[in-house]
Amino acid sequence: MTPNPLLDFSALPRFDAIRPEHVGPAIDTLLAEAEAALARARTAPATWSDFVEPLEDATERLGRAWNQVAHLNAVANTPALRQAYNAALPKISRFHSAMQQDPVLYAQFKALAASPEAAGWDAARRRAVDNALRDFRLGGAELADAGKARLAEVQEELASLSAKFSENVLDATDAWTYDVEDPAELAGLPDDVVARCAAEARKAGRDGYRLTLQMPCYLPVQTYAEHRPLRERLYRAYGVLASETGPAERDNGPLIERILALRAEQARLLGYARYAELSLATKMARSPEEVLSFLRDLAARALPHARRDRAELEAFARDELGLDSLQPWDLAWASQKLRQARYSYSEQEAKRYFTEPRVLSGLFGAIGDLYGLRVEPDTAPVWHEDVRFYRLTDAEGRLVGQFYLDLYAREGKRGGAWMDDCRNRRRRSDGRVQTPIVYLVCNFGRGADGKPATFAHSEVVTLFHEMGHGLHQLLTEVDALAVAGINGVEWDAVELPSQFMENFCWEWPRIEAMTAHVDTGQPLPRALFERMLAARNFQSGMQTVRQLEFALFDMELHAAAEPPQAGVLALLERIREEVAVNRPPAWHRFPQQFAHIFAGGYAAGYYSYKWAEVLSADAYAAFEERPGAYADTGARFRAEVLARGGSRPALENFRAFRGREPRIDALLRHSGMSAGAEVRR
């Protein structure tokens, strides 16, 4: 019998060999190993080497195998793999619930924390054990047996509902197509988008063009399509994805109601009045009220700019585009026209210069300039022919870490962009250091007609963002697994390194180096860059309040003791009355697609994007203040933020790098809004 690739930890994951039928047997085997390790840990001496390290060995093997399965489920989804994933998911959930609730393990950790050995620990080990004690409490270790049993049931059902939520969005997206025969209907669309639509039609055995709701098709239609009915058709289809307008089995509405009810029950079981309080127990923010105050303070600063943006767009659409009423499917299109008229800047014009090879070269060059590291092509088994693999080495050629890069959208791949860890850094009991490996995933359009892919500048920013997350994981120097990389980092600080990296997409020397026109090979002209820079804060007010709308909706939803009686849509409308300047139609079903909070890790945490943006803008300001000292400042940022991981509080990391508390001034300045007072954390 061929060995199960999910049980092979000798080298890199064998993604080319993993099949759905491997999932169940591998997870069962690793669960049995982990259970046996838990049994041994209950009676082991309460020391780091006798108790913590053996426990980590067994649970890490399970975690690594399960991460491979979950990753494949997100990027190469098939009915068979989905079935195998969903069959194993409850077992994984039950194991973690039981482990977090184990009174003997909890007692062992308490004994370890109080032992003489603990006095000699470094900060990483102390924080790892402190976090473990906290997580036992949050996992229900102090509950009575009945409470533990019910909490485990709640957690298991929540895991299954979140998986189903994502599946529904993916299936609804993949199921929708629109076939066009008359090329005039595609007027205004970029040539590469038209070419991809023609290729999609040919793949389906049809003439003409096939449009989808994948982002490389949907966004260009909304932004560039001159045919208004086409924009409306796609907008309407996208706006009701995974809702009651489609097949009942894909409706996320009932799932949302159940998820919210279960989260409220989970909070009560653990002694919290509201789910938001439970969520914030592992974050920088101290209370829902502090978060809401932060968001509303930022809204007060942004709303005047947002209202001005909306008024200018309405006037332009009326006077220059002949639109008596500005509909939601007109917003991106009219905004692009206004930006072109005001700044003589078209993102589509600039996109022709951001060819994939040059963008990657520019990204890797920035990593070298900031941290003195080299990114080199490497080889590994992959899950799709599009995927590439790289190694990160230091000046002496030592391996720092490795990463997979999966750039293109395709059927069966979850939308959006993200980083996830494949293997984290840790120092093993034999003294060897295990280097980290991460996945970097985007959903860009591939090249067409033999030409390389070209990226909109906003997509370049997305790529740098995800690389920032990856570097947070790859550059950790912490040996304790529980606080290495992003492990143990407060969730509202996780976006600091990613948003920080975005800033380097706006520096002329980097832009010049990372561009080569897809036809001529010429770099982006300086004059076009100046127009791009002038347009940088175009509609920043509208963009800011849109994010605040999502963040306020999320926090208000989870800061209530019970789900809203009038329903989530009514709550969202109330939030929009408060902060929105662009109002979707009443039939729009945004919550049914809000996977960040219903299927991801951002429940009562979506505010983290704006919270961390204060930190990231202020961190980049240190580079602006010393423009000739990038290597020195980069080395300090690496040493005080990236290398530290979760080994100390994120605010301490920031203070050590910046020498003071974070301030909001840089964020407001970068966003084109007036400077404000210092933000206290």
Gap between the Cα atoms of 309 and 608, Å rounded: 25
Annotated catalytic residue within 277, 466, 495, 556: 466
Residue 295 parent element (H or E) = helix 288-319
Q: Is 466 considered catalytic here?
A: yes
The helix/strand/coil state of 16 is coil
Structure tokens at 238: 């996208």
Give yes or no for a contact between 347 and 234, defined as CB atoms under 8 angstroms apart: no
- Let me know the angle formed at the C-alpha of 474 by 491 and 459, rounded to the nearest 5 degrees: 75
Structure tokens at 626: 């010393």
The helix/strand/coil state of 678 is strand
Structure tokens at 647: 């080994």
Backbone angles phi, psi at 30, to 5 degrees: -70, -35
Half-sphere exposure of 199 (CA within 13 A, CB side): 14
The helix/strand/coil state of 292 is helix
Closest among 7, 31, 29 to 18, alpha carbons compared? 7
Backbone angles phi, psi at 22, to 5 degrees: -80, -20
Cα dist from 588 to 143, 170, 254, 572, 611, whole Å: 42, 18, 16, 11, 28
Gap between the Cα atoms of 543 and 138, Å rounded: 35
Determine the straight-line distance between the first and last CA of the chain, rounded to whole angstroms. Answer: 58
Give yes or no for a contact between 201 and 179, defined as CB atoms under 8 angstroms apart: yes
Cα dihedral 598/601/603/608 (nearest 10): -130
Contacts of 340 (CB under 8 A, 6+ apart): 346
Token pair 């020195």: residue: 632
Structure tokens at 197: 């639509």
Give yes or no for a contact between 234 and 178, defined as CB atoms under 8 angstroms apart: yes
477-497 residues labelled b (16+ CB within 10 A) or e (exposed): bbbbbbbbbbbbbbbbbbbbb
Give yes or no for a contact between 421 and 486, defined as CB atoms under 8 angstroms apart: yes
Judged on CB neighbours under 10 Å (0-12, 13-18, 19+), 59 is buried
Mapping DSSP onto H, E and C, the string for 398-443 reads: CEEEEEEEEEECCCCCCCCCEEEEEECCEECCCCCEECCEEEEEEE
Gap between the Cα atoms of 190 and 185, Å rounded: 13
Cα dist from 526 to 350, 501, 515, 533, 606, whole Å: 11, 22, 11, 10, 37
Catalytic sites, residue numbers: 466
